[in-house]
Structure 1
Amino acid sequence: MGRALPSERSAYRYFRDITTRWMDNDVYAHVNNVVYYSWFDTVVNGWLLENELLDFVQSPTIGLVVETRCSYFSSIAFPDLVRAGLRVTHLGTSSVTYEVGLFANDRQEASAQGHFVHVYVDRSTRRPLSLPAHLRQALETGLVTP
């Protein structure tokens, strides 16, 4: 597998602004790598909540993260504003691959990008289930990229 190249903003379907915080910086004066994964989680779950597709407390079907990956291209540091772009690149029977691009300030190329795979399971048994129809439809119309 070759090194990933940064995506352009235009490759993403949805954006969420994320304000960096002083505590996000590490001793090397840039945002620590673990923070990027929290941003991935924030943009994915933010989209799901905004579109009323997930009830964290009562939904019988929940999405569990089974895989994440992040490639870093340029530093992000406090007080940068991050525009997190979101798209879906794969819809399986029970899984969704979300791709996230993190764009610092007005940059058009991603400072970092990665993916986040949810497998949807029964809340009680943790066994995979087909994606709920309303979720599949929303993903197909709102986030799937060609």
Structure 2
Amino acid sequence: MSTSIAHKKRRLRSDYIYHQTHRTRWFDNDMYAHLNNTVYAMLFDSIINTYLITHCGMDPFTHNNPTLTTPDPSSSSSTSSSTPSKFKSNQVGIMVSSYCDYFSSVSFPDILDLGLRVTKLGNSSVTYEVGVFKEGEDEVKVVGGYTHVFVARETMRPTREGMEVGVRRGLERLLVSDDTAVGGGGGKGAKL
């Protein structure tokens, strides 16, 4: 077992900064009576995109509405540590890689707690890590995630300036200082 896999297997709920609850469905189970592998990709997508929409200004429902204005992300009213972002991004995140490591199975009717953190934040890219826990348990069942590259909507290419400031600020709140840290929260940001 590689060091990174061993560290992931020891993840605890407290190692993640942002959390979301998911109630499994009968439909999620496969013929072996545990969650089908494809369900994990949907879970990762749900928690990551919920965070991007509520804390990073990535609003897919209003991005084409010409009546909306994009506030200056440097103004004090555009972001707050306790409220979702008012900033509206002009970029989109394109997935360029993904992974999933399975340690223990879950199945319907389990209630899951998903935890999210950022393990790497580049000029135009971010790598997320999602931990999957059964409600009431601290031991991780699955660790996975993916890398987004933020690109201009019009060109679908990264910009010279990189990731927009409003998006970066939201993602910095999830950034962990050491992605091998276990059991202490490991993150720089406050719990959200």
1:138 Cα deviation after fit: 1.6
Could you say what the CA RMSD is over the residues aligned between the two structures, in angstroms?
1.4
Which one of the candidate residues 85, 101, 125 is aligned to 2:155? 125
1:115 Cα deviation after fit: 2.0
Alignment partners' CA distance in 2, 1:13 and 1:68: 20
Superposed, which structure 2 residues align to 1:46-85 within 5 Å?
46-51=50-55, 53-57=57-61, 58=63, 59-85=89-115
Which one of the candidate residues 115, 120, 134 is aligned to 2:145? 115
Q: How many residues align?
A: 145
1:54-99 CA-to-partner distances (Å, cap 9, x unmatched) read 1214153100111110000111100001100000011101000010
Moved over 4 A (4+): none
In the other structure, the counterpart of 1:143 is 174
Alignment partners' CA distance in 1, 2:152 and 2:169: 19
Alignment partners' CA distance in 2, 1:99 and 1:23: 25
In the other structure, the counterpart of 1:134 is 166
Larger Rg: 2
Secondary structure of 1:99 counterpart: strand
1:52 Cα deviation after fit: 5.2
Unaligned runs of 5+ in 1: none
Percent sequence identity over aligned pairs: 43
Which one of the candidate residues 86, 91, 108 is aligned to 2:116? 86
- Give TM-score scaled by structure 1 length: 0.94
Which one of the candidate residues 134, 159, 164 is aligned to 1:104? 134
Alignment partners' CA distance in 2, 1:33 and 1:106: 22
